[in-house]
Structure 1
Amino acid sequence: MTDSKEAKGQRLGPLDEEELIAGGTRYFIKGLGFRPTYSFKDIAGGPGHGSRVLMLQLLFLVLFTVILVVVLVKGRLCRPCSWDWTLFQRNCYFFSNSKLNWSNSVTACQEMRAQLVVIKSVEEQNFLQLSSKNRGPTWMGLSDLKKEGVWHWLDGSHLWFRFTKYWLPGEPNNDGKEDCAEFRGDGWNDGKCEREKFWICKKPAASCSNI
């Protein structure tokens, strides 16, 4: 053995328990009981590593596609309002394209499981007034048919005093027995119930919280 080999052997003397394997380093130290079981090949991945990654990517893509389809389908199945209804503050509104008298307007809304509109807030009033302004006179669910001058909504509630400001100047005047309220221009008017006018139905919006 040459001097250089002897020197090398002396340098490696404490590591004579280390095993060197071509294609990777796999070693163990008997004195310490430490024996890693991996090699550089393990870290880089074996021959099938690329195919496994590809399979995982495909699986993720399929799962994502399925979730996206489910969300879109459920979103279409659960709509707060039907296609021909308008959503506003958790209620759905139907603005008619035909004209009926007040009584038939009430019936038409009931047939759609709704009610000739009963106004509950200033915001709702402003929305309905603006929506009906360019359509022409439009029935609402308010009348004094039971007692002249005492206005009631279809749900039995009295007309609140703060809503009386929406009557047009000089209205209601009961001119020729006008007992049903309508949207007209920028305010309310009392009209003859047998006249045919547009009408608005209202019902609660559907809940999709359980979807």
Structure 2
Amino acid sequence: MEWVDKPDSQEPMALDEQELITSGNRLSPRGSGFPQIHGFKNFPGCLRQGRAPLVLLFLCLMLFAGLLVAILVQVSKVPRAQGLEHSSQEEIHQVLTQLKARIALLCRPCPWGWRSFQENCYFFSDSQRNWHDSVTACEEVGAQLVVIKSAEEQNFLQLQASGYNRLTWMGLSDLKHEGTWHWLDGSPLLPSFAQYWNQGEPNSSGEEDCAEFKDKGWNDSRCDLSKFWVCKKPAASCSSD
């Protein structure tokens, strides 16, 4: 092995080792502060020059800077995520509002085939039954054989019955006490309603104990005869609440 002459105060250095160190320094950019890490591990000459602590310090600074950037990125996402959540809630609220409006348009206070009048629904039958079976038919659909509460309601019902030209049962009878007329809900027939009887009615001829719409007024008739009937029940609410 060839040796290079050095002053007596220094140990002789192998030529190959000197060339490797010189080559390592030449490959590392000067002034960059970031020399090759594996060069320090392999070459004791650099450790003796005190460069390893600088490299470790630089690496620590870089690691700290990286962590700081990562934290800032995560923090910056929080307001954005909250904003997106708020925006999503607003969109859901708008969709629900639109759905409620469309449901309100589809809402029908009365079922199909029923007629609406003053917050009530009325069903005029196309078939005929006796008075008792007519009461049952109305109960089966959650209604009642019609009980008339006002002059306006009477005019509405009389007009419908007269228009069809049908004899139609109503929920009025004197079955409990002859000559004393009561509605199905138990309320008595008011004296003011007596004007709606046709002339000469009620005459109770042949046990005529049930009332019907006939011509332009009311008539008493036998309860076992088959006639059309009209049911009544409250209209449904279409509130969007």
> TM-score range with shorter-chain normalisation?
0.5 to 0.7
CA distance in 2, matches of 1:66, 1:209: 15
SS across alignment from 1:188: strand
1:91 is matched with which residue?
Answer: 120
1:30 is matched with which residue?
Answer: none
Does residue 207 (structure 1) correspond to residue 231 (structure 2)? The answer is no
The code of the aligned residue for 2:199 comes to P
Count of aligned positions: 151
The code of the aligned residue for 1:104 comes to D
How far did residue 83 of structure 1 move? 1.1
Which blocks of at least 5 consecutive residues in structure 1 are unaligned? 1-62
The code of the aligned residue for 2:122 comes to Y
The code of the aligned residue for 2:102 comes to L
How far did residue 175 of structure 1 move? 0.9
CA distance in 2, matches of 1:198, 1:155: 20
1:143 is matched with which residue?
Answer: 173
CA distance in 2, matches of 1:132, 1:154: 20
Give the TM-score normalised by structure 1: 0.67
How far did residue 70 of structure 1 move? 4.5
CA distance in 1, matches of 2:113, 2:124: 9
Query: After superposition, where does 1:1-211 map in structure 2 within 5 Å?
Result: 68=98, 70-76=100-106, 78-135=107-164, 136-211=166-241
The answer as to whether partners of 1:134 and 1:185 remain within 8 angstroms in 2 is no
How far did residue 69 of structure 1 move? 5.4
Which blocks of at least 5 consecutive residues in structure 2 are unaligned? 1-92
CA distance in 1, matches of 2:211, 2:179: 12
How far did residue 79 of structure 1 move? 1.6
CA distance in 2, matches of 1:209, 1:71: 10
Write 1 or 2 for the structure with the bigger share of helix.
2
Give the TM-score normalised by structure 2: 0.58
2:83 is matched with which residue?
Answer: none
CA distance in 1, matches of 2:138, 2:187: 18
The answer as to whether partners of 1:137 and 1:182 remain within 8 angstroms in 2 is yes
SS across alignment from 1:134: helix
Return structure 1 stretches of 4+ with deviation > 6 angstroms.
63-66
Distance of aligned partners of 1:114 and 1:66 in 2 relative to their CA distance in 1, 3 Å threshold:
closer
